[in-house]
Chains A and B, each alone.
Chain A
Amino acid sequence: MTVQTLQPSVAIDHDAIAQFLYREARFADEHRYDDWEALWADEALYWVPIGEDPDPATRISYIYDNRARLASRIRQLKTGRRHSQEPASGLRRLISNIEIETRGEEIVTRSNFILVESRRGALITWAGQAEHRLRKAGGDFRISAKTVRLVNSDEPISNLAFLI
């Protein structure tokens, strides 16, 4: 299904975008770190804020990774000695309520997720909204920003060393 939007320069294929989001989720769930990192653009922001629409210049976030820090995060996970992910958590997430809009050359998606983490005898539920900013890259997409708004970002949360 191809939909012509108000910005005629960007034709968006909803199915392809949904497939991309599912693939990103699967790579994260399966700890396929290199494959996951390869989905990102060269300039990027990976953000898990605390609270509603905070200004990251003045309010602390759980994660505020630029591209270099995101690379550090992946390198650390890949050492095999990142204790908080050794052994890796069992993860599966469901993605739904995908909404897509275009802003110039950029595709912005908002989707809801429920993620269940299995860690040392406990099942931990994570839920929230993910906002992706995507750029077309060949027949595929690259993520220039991902914001994960946890429903409980104001509450104490347990280790978030996996990729959310």
Chain B
Amino acid sequence: MNAPLSATPRPIAYPSLVEDQRIHGSVYTDPAIFADEIDRIFSRGWVFLAHESEIPNPGDFVTRKLGLQSVIVTRDAAGGFHSLYNRCPHRGAVVCQAEAGHRRSLTCPYHGWTFAMDGALMGVPAPGAYEGLSAQPAGLAPIARLDSYGGFIFGSLGADGPNLTTHLGKAVEWIDQLCGLSPTGRIRLSAGWMKHKMRCNWKMIVENQVDGYHAPMVHGSLLAANETFASVRDRKDSSPTRVHDVGLGHTDIDHATDYRTTPDRLFRWTGGVPEAKLPNYVAAMRESYGEADARRRLIDGPPHSMLFPNISLAEMNIMVIQPISPTETIHYSTPVLLEGAEEMNARTMRRCEGALGPAGFLIADDAEIAELNQLGVANLEPEWILLNRGLASEVVDAEGVRTAGLMDETSQRGFWRHYRDVMSAVGGA
């Protein structure tokens, strides 16, 4: 039985809440668990901050959340990347209110201390009063670690722990797969972000991103209203699509295993558009990769994956899941634009708007269900959430990658297995 009004005992024994086949409902509601997550996962672990293409030029910056911290991600005069706490070293004011922009320097709105884009202090008004003092004015504080892969910049507030490559593990293959849809191997996230407020725990959305079971139910209205969406992929239990848990909490729904069953058709991943409608894109891909390899890329399409903890390479979109409180989350979405494929990009923009965000034909309904899910787990019985679907048919290969059918909960189990490791580890992520 739950003890409804008593708090979870401290320290929290995560293995007793996150079992192999079931999850205790309190992990979605308990403020102490949320605080632990912000510390262990979203502060000490690696978290996506920005894509290099969002700050292409010296002086460009964006402000982002790393856990609950506001940080400024900048490009300095030499083109180098920095991530700085958004807090003035003088008396603590937020230095940068703008979400994005281009500046020669950053000036604090309170007393006017000015910082270079790498955070170094450039000047303070009336500096004479600091002469002879031991505590001298200093610059903006950098976060502990910053690194990038495939243009995706990640940060961590913790000085220790695995490096980014170790954290990403096999997920780098999905980043490569996505970038490899561009004839130049580079993508751009330059269209801005939709910001979707959801009244649910962040993990509801993570689990849903790689849930192959819900589409007929949650997205039935779209399947009925728009035949294109219905016809491009097989959404039945018998679908050739596989789900994978590739370890370290990274999981995917591999639609390519379905698309490869129709090797005569390219572009099933973008509404099954006829090849003849994207002639320049197809030609550029052939030019870059050769006939056979270009064809393979255009059959397979982009990954549909969820990288631990909160960035999803969601086909031709990037989606980021930002925790706000145990019951509030913001879901950010932006289309993936391919360098050297403008013809494709126009299409991707409009498909992103159609499917995603608060008005999207898909995600509005996912958001609704996530909110119902959150309301549901606030009710106390039965206190466990079941995650054992498809367990018996799961196949584990020599490298530990787990594979199962489209509608199996292998992907959710993969997330939770790593979650439990991180939350239980001595010293955090």
Interface 0/1 of B181-212, CB less than 8 Å to A: 00000000011111111110000000000000
Chain A residues in 8 Å Cβ range of B199: 158
Any B CB within 8 A of the CB of A161: yes
Chain-B contact segment, one of A2-10, A17-25, A71-79, A98-106: A71-79
- In the complex formed, the residue of B with least CB distance to A56 is B349
Least Cβ distance of B202 to chain A in Å?
A: 13
Least Cβ distance of A91 to chain B in Å?
A: 15
User: Which one of B190, B191, B225, B335 lies within 8 Å of A72 (CB-CB)?
Assistant: B225
User: Which one of A63, A80, A84, A155 lies within 8 Å of B365 (CB-CB)?
Assistant: A84
- By the criterion CB–CB under 8 Å, are A157 and B197 in contact? yes
Least Cβ distance of B225 to chain A in Å?
A: 4
User: Which one of B198, B220, B375 lies within 8 Å of A81 (CB-CB)?
Assistant: B220
User: Which one of A54, A79, A157 lies within 8 Å of B225 (CB-CB)?
Assistant: A79
Any A CB within 8 A of the CB of B334: yes
User: Which one of B333, B364, B365 lies within 8 Å of A160 (CB-CB)?
Assistant: B364
Chain A residues in 8 Å Cβ range of B353: 60-64
- By the criterion CB–CB under 8 Å, are B359 and A83 in contact? no
- By the criterion CB–CB under 8 Å, are B194 and A62 in contact? yes
- By the criterion CB–CB under 8 Å, are B335 and A60 in contact? yes
- By the criterion CB–CB under 8 Å, are B191 and A60 in contact? yes
- By the criterion CB–CB under 8 Å, are A156 and B192 in contact? no
User: Which one of B218, B220, B335, B358 lies within 8 Å of A79 (CB-CB)?
Assistant: B220
- In the complex formed, the residue of B with least CB distance to A154 is B99
Q: Restricting to B354-406, which residues have a CB under 8 Å from any CB of A?
A: 354, 357-359, 361, 364-365, 367-369, 371, 375
User: Which one of B196, B354, B371 lies within 8 Å of A157 (CB-CB)?
Assistant: B196
Interface 0/1 of B306-337, CB less than 8 Å to A: 00000000000000000000000010011100
Chain A residues in 8 Å Cβ range of B358: 62, 157-161
Number of residues on chain A facing chain B (CB within 8 A): 34
Any B CB within 8 A of the CB of A143: no
Any A CB within 8 A of the CB of B222: yes
Cα distance A51–B192 when bound, in Å?
10
- By the criterion CB–CB under 8 Å, are A156 and B197 in contact? yes
- By the criterion CB–CB under 8 Å, are B359 and A60 in contact? no
Q: Restricting to A123-164, which residues have a CB under 8 Å from any CB of B?
A: 154-161
User: Which one of A62, A72, A82 lies within 8 Å of B357 (CB-CB)?
Assistant: A62
Any B CB within 8 A of the CB of A58: yes
Cα distance A160–B363 when bound, in Å?
11
Any B CB within 8 A of the CB of A12: no
Interface 0/1 of A27-47, CB less than 8 Å to B: 000000000000000000000
Any A CB within 8 A of the CB of B178: no
Any B CB within 8 A of the CB of A57: yes
Any B CB within 8 A of the CB of A92: no
- By the criterion CB–CB under 8 Å, are A81 and B224 in contact? yes
- By the criterion CB–CB under 8 Å, are A79 and B224 in contact? yes
Any A CB within 8 A of the CB of B153: no
User: Which one of B218, B225, B334, B375 lies within 8 Å of A60 (CB-CB)?
Assistant: B334
Apart from A58-B191, A156-B196, A161-B365: 15 A-B pairs, beta carbons within 8 A: A57-B349, A60-B191, A60-B192, A63-B359, A69-B354, A72-B225, A72-B361, A75-B225, A78-B225, A79-B220, A81-B224, A83-B369, A120-B371, A157-B197, A157-B358
Nearest first, the 7 A-B pairs at minimum CB distance are: A75-B225, A156-B195, A76-B225, A84-B364, A81-B221, A156-B197, A160-B358
- Residues of chain A at the chain B interface (Cβ within 8 Å): 48, 50-51, 54, 56-64, 69, 72-73, 75-76, 78-84, 120, 154-161
Name 27 interchain pairs, CB-CB below 8 A, sorted by A.
Answer: A50-B192, A54-B192, A56-B349, A59-B191, A60-B194, A60-B333, A60-B334, A61-B353, A63-B359, A64-B350, A69-B354, A76-B361, A81-B224, A82-B221, A82-B364, A83-B221, A83-B369, A84-B365, A84-B367, A120-B371, A157-B195, A158-B198, A159-B364, A160-B357, A160-B364, A161-B359, A161-B365
